[in-house]
C-alpha cells in the first residue's frame, strides 16, 4: 500500500516542542550546503524593496521558529515594530534569546507572540509586511492561513511567502530505500506537499495579488554516511526500524553496514513569493 501520512501536517506541534530537532537539522543542512543564498538574506532584501520607510514599518515574522529570519529583518530593516509569531513556546524562547540582545538600545521593539497562525491576535490591517518562511506546509490546508495573513496586512502591505519544492532532498529518500531502512521511502508523500514551489502561487492568488515568484536551487553535498545520518535523525518523513529514529549514531551504523561510505549530493528548490494586499476600491 502507498504510504499517505505526512508528519509535517499531522504532528507539527510535536516537532517543535523543543528546539533541538530543528537546530540539529539546520546544522546538518548548513554543513552540507554548497549552493544557494542564505534564505534570511534574500527575505531581508525582498522586504527592503517593499517598504518605503522601513524604520516606520510594522513587520510580522509568522512561524518565526528560532528567529533566523526575524533577526536579519531586525538588523537590516530596523523596523519600528517586529512581531515574531509562533505556536511553539520553545521556538519563541530560542528566538527571544537570539534577537533581544541585538535589538536592545535600537528603536526597534520586538514582540514575541505565541499563537496559531490560523487565528493571530493581531488587528485587521496591522502590518506593513508579513513574512511566512518554511511554515505554511505545516497547515493541512494553508489557504485559511494565507487568508489570515492577508487580513493582518494594511492596504498595499506586502507578504513574502517562502517554501521548498516537493522533491526536496530526493536523493536521501533513495538512499534510505536502498539501505532497506524504509523500503517505502521514495513513495512517501513530500513533507512539503501542502505548500510547495509548485502550488504556492495558486494557494495565494485567492487572497493576495501575487507579484513575483522566484525559484532558486539549493545544493547540498553530504560528506558521507555519518553526515547523512545526522540529517536523517531529524527527519520525521521515514518509518525507520525501532531504535533508529532520532539516533544519529544508530542510523549511521545501520547505513555503514549495507552501503559504501561516499559523498551524497541532493537539492531543494527554494521559492520566494512576493504578494500584496490591494488598495481599497
Ligand X SMILES: C[S@@+](CC[C@H](N)C(=O)[O-])C[C@H]1O[C@@H](n2cnc3c(N)ncnc32)[C@H](O)[C@@H]1O
Residues lying near ligand X in the complex (CB under 6 A): 12, 16, 22, 63-65, 68-69, 86-88, 91, 116-117, 133-135, 138
Give whichever of 88 and 152 is closer to ligand X, judged by the CB atom.
88
Q: At closest approach, how far in Å is the CB of 65 from ligand X?
A: 2
Q: At closest approach, how far in Å is the CB of 229 from ligand X?
A: 20
Contact 196, 226 (CB under 8 A): no
At 276, give phi and psi (nearest 5°): -130, 155
Give whichever of 96 and 184 is closer to ligand X, judged by the CB atom.
96
Give whichever of 64 and 264 is closer to ligand X, judged by the CB atom.
64
The C-alpha cell at 82 is 517586529
Q: At closest approach, how far in Å is the CB of 245 from ligand X?
A: 19
Q: At closest approach, how far in Å is the CB of 202 from ligand X?
A: 21
Give whichever of 64 and 252 is closer to ligand X, judged by the CB atom.
64
Q: At closest approach, how far in Å is the CB of 138 from ligand X?
A: 4
Give whichever of 162 and 181 is closer to ligand X, judged by the CB atom.
162
Contact 245, 196 (CB under 8 A): no
Give whichever of 138 and 277 is closer to ligand X, judged by the CB atom.
138
Q: At closest approach, how far in Å is the CB of 6 from ligand X?
A: 13
The C-alpha cell at 57 is 514599518
47: nearest Cα among 272, 280, 278, 277: 272
Q: Which residue is nearest to ligand X (CB)?
A: 65
Amino acid at each position: 500500500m502507498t504510504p499517505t501520512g505526512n508528519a509535517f501536517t499531522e504532528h507539527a506541534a510535536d516537532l517543535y516542542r523543543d528546539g533541538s530537532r530543528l537546530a540539529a537539522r539546520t546544522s546538518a543542512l548548513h554543513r552540507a550546503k554548497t549552493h544557494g543564498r542564505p534564505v534570511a538574506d534574500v527575505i531581508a532584501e525582498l522586504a527592503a524593496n517593499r517598504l518605503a520607510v522601513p524604520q516606520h514599518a510594522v513587520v510580522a515574522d509568522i512561524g518565526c521558529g528560532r528567529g533566523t529570519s526575524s533577526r536579519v529583518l531586525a538588523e537590516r530593516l530596523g523596523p519600528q515594530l517586529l512581531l515574531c509569531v509562533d505556536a511553539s513556546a520553545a521556538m519563541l524562547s530560542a528566538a527571544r534569546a537570539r534577537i533581544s540582545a541585538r535589538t536592545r538600545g535600537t528603536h526597534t521593539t520586538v514582540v514575541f507572540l505565541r499563537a496559531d497562525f490560523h487565528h493571530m491576535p493581531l488587528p485587521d490591517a496591522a502590518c506593513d509586511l508579513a513574512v511566512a518562511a518554511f511554515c505554511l506546509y505545516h497547515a493541512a490546508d494553508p489557504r485559511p492561513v494565507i487568508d489570515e495573513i492577508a487580513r493582518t496586512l494594511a492596504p498595499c502591505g506586502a507578504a513574502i511567502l517562502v517554501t521548498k519544492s516537493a522533491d526536496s532532498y530526493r536523493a536521501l529518500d533513495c538512499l534510505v530505500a536502498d539501505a532497506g531502512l524504509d523500503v517505502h521511502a521514495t513513495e512517501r508523500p513530500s513533507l512539503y506537499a501542502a505548500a510547495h514551489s509548485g502550488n504556492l502561487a495558486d494557494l495565494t492568488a485567492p487572497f493576495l495579488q501575487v507579484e513575483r515568484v522566484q525559484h532558486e536551487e539549493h545544493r547540498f553535498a553530504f560528506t558521507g554516511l555519518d553526515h547523512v545520518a545526522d540529517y536523517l535523525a531529524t527527519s520525521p518523513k521515514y518509518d525507520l526500524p525501532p531504535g533508529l529514529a532520532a539516533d544519529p549514531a544508530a542510523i549511521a551504523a545501520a547505513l555503514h553496514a549495507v552501503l559504501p561510505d561516499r559523498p551524497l549530493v541532493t537539492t531543494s528548490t527554494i521559492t520566494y513569493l512576493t504578494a500584496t494586499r490591494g488598495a481599497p476600491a
